[in-house]
Amino acid sequence: MVKKIFLSIFITSALSVTAATAAALLSSSEGIGAVILFAVVILLITCLSAFLTACKIVRPIKNIDPTQPRFRKVYKELSPLLDRLKKQNGRVNRYMAELTDSREQFSLITESMKDGIVIVDPKTIILSCNSAAFQLLGVPPLTEGQSIYALSNDEPFRRCIQDAMGGLRSEIVISTDMGDRKVIASPASISDAINGIVVFIMDVTEEQALEKMRREFTSNVSHELKTPLTTIYGISDMLANGMVRAENVAEFGGNIRREADRLISLINDIVSLSRLDETDAPRQWEEVELYSLSEEIIDRLSKTAEKKNITAKVTGEKVAVMGDRIILSEVIYNLCENAIKYNKEGGNYTIRISHIPMKAVITVTDTGIGIPEEHLDRIFERFYRVDKSRSQKIKGTGLGLSIVKHGVGYHKGTVRAVNSDEGMVFIVELPIKNTDE
């Protein structure tokens, strides 16, 4: 601006000097040198004065603050321009405030997420990344401007990102020291051009463990069902072909019956477990009084107990919990059945019902063979039987205690097993009032 004003003043002054000089030259041919010198001096002075004038005019304009009304009074001519500037300024400030607001809101939302979210540009540079993303992958905090490969440089992760960059939604599970993580990379494209990708990172440790358990369960069930069926098939085949002597038929028949019994218990246990696995099944919550329920169960098991001369009793107090009666009776039944199965001839077992703040406690104590300490951690696993040779003589499926654990978990309670001087002690704690009621 200074330059333009300077030029206009300078050109106007220079033209007047040139015109005056030309007039002087035309009127007298003498003293041309003096006239030229005079013209040059005048031009220089014009030049300096034009520059100073231009600066003087422009200086206050440079300092104009369109938001201050006092400037309007000074420069009335600039008023429309200042108005427009003020409006524009207001609009820009509003946009900036909105942008900051939505950015803060976006970061507030993403920061409160348990899953990681990373937005990446087409050159794999991070545009936005929440804390969960780097925490889940156990890497130091990342900032915008870093490459997404700072999260992980493993080949599967790179391939997942590259696939998404190529327009394909890609999904992988990676194992870290902290657990299993699912990474989903999704391309963001407008009219076929990839504008970037959005990467989600989730903790799937529990899901993966459940999936593994389900696979193992299916293979164990098939194995456990196949064994008695193969025996039944073999024996009945021999009977059908007349390969068994008449005096042995009863014994072979007994074997078939034993294996069929085993199949029935196995199927019953599997049905109980799958019922507990059905998380969507409607809950039959009701008030269940544990003392009388325990008495009922002792009664149901009395015949089995009599065969080993085992005595049983319920002690403690009447405590009621909100829960599913069938599942709670399965829990106590399985603990008592084990207290008989793994007890000595002539032994005993006791169910004690008591309560601690907000919780009911069921303690089943027996005088049996106990469980070696090193097995205590695993007895609640599906199909786990302590020392196959010792358990072989005692019928069982290896599912009883997992039904107990699952049933107790269904009521948001806990179960633990400890050895006592005499035998085993199983302690179940159940919330008296369930939050899911």
Question: Which residues of the chain form contacts with ligand ADP (CB under 6 A)?
Answer: 338-339, 342, 366, 368-371, 379, 384-386, 391, 396-402, 424
Element (H, E) at 298: helix 290-300
Element (H, E) at 190: strand 179-190
Residue 281 beta carbon to ligand ADP: minimum distance, rounded to whole angstroms: 22
Residue 416 beta carbon to ligand ADP: minimum distance, rounded to whole angstroms: 13
Residue 405 beta carbon to ligand ADP: minimum distance, rounded to whole angstroms: 9
Characterise 113 by phi-psi region: left (phi > 0), alpha (psi -120 to 50), beta (else).
beta
**Closer to ligand ADP by Cβ: residue 164 or 403:** 403
The C-alpha angle 252, 255, 258, rounded to 5 degrees, equals: 155
**Closer to ligand ADP by Cβ: residue 231 or 391:** 391
d(CA 121, CA 313): 71
Structure tokens at 416: 């633990």
For tokens 């406690």, name the residue. Answer: 361
Residue 214 beta carbon to ligand ADP: minimum distance, rounded to whole angstroms: 18
d(CA 392, CA 78): 103
Residue 404 beta carbon to ligand ADP: minimum distance, rounded to whole angstroms: 7
CA distances in angstroms from 199 to 129, 136, 156, 186, 221, listed in the order given: 9, 13, 14, 6, 39
Give the DSSP letter of residue 428: E
Which amino acid would we find at residue 256?
Answer: I
d(CA 276, CA 384): 18
Residue 165 beta carbon to ligand ADP: minimum distance, rounded to whole angstroms: 51
**Closer to ligand ADP by Cβ: residue 199 or 312:** 312
The burial class, CB within 10 Å (0-12 / 13-18 / 19+), for 131 is: middle
**Closer to ligand ADP by Cβ: residue 255 or 391:** 391
**Closer to ligand ADP by Cβ: residue 69 or 372:** 372
**Closer to ligand ADP by Cβ: residue 66 or 396:** 396
Which amino acid would we find at residue 182?
Answer: K
**Closer to ligand ADP by Cβ: residue 117 or 399:** 399
Residue 391 beta carbon to ligand ADP: minimum distance, rounded to whole angstroms: 4
List, in sequence order, every residue forming a beta bridge with 174; answer none if it has no partner.
Answer: 181
- Give me Rg for the CA atoms of the chain: 45
Residue 265 beta carbon to ligand ADP: minimum distance, rounded to whole angstroms: 8
**Closer to ligand ADP by Cβ: residue 185 or 408:** 408
d(CA 354, CA 319): 7
List, in order, residues 6 or more apart from 357 with CB less than 8 Å away.
none
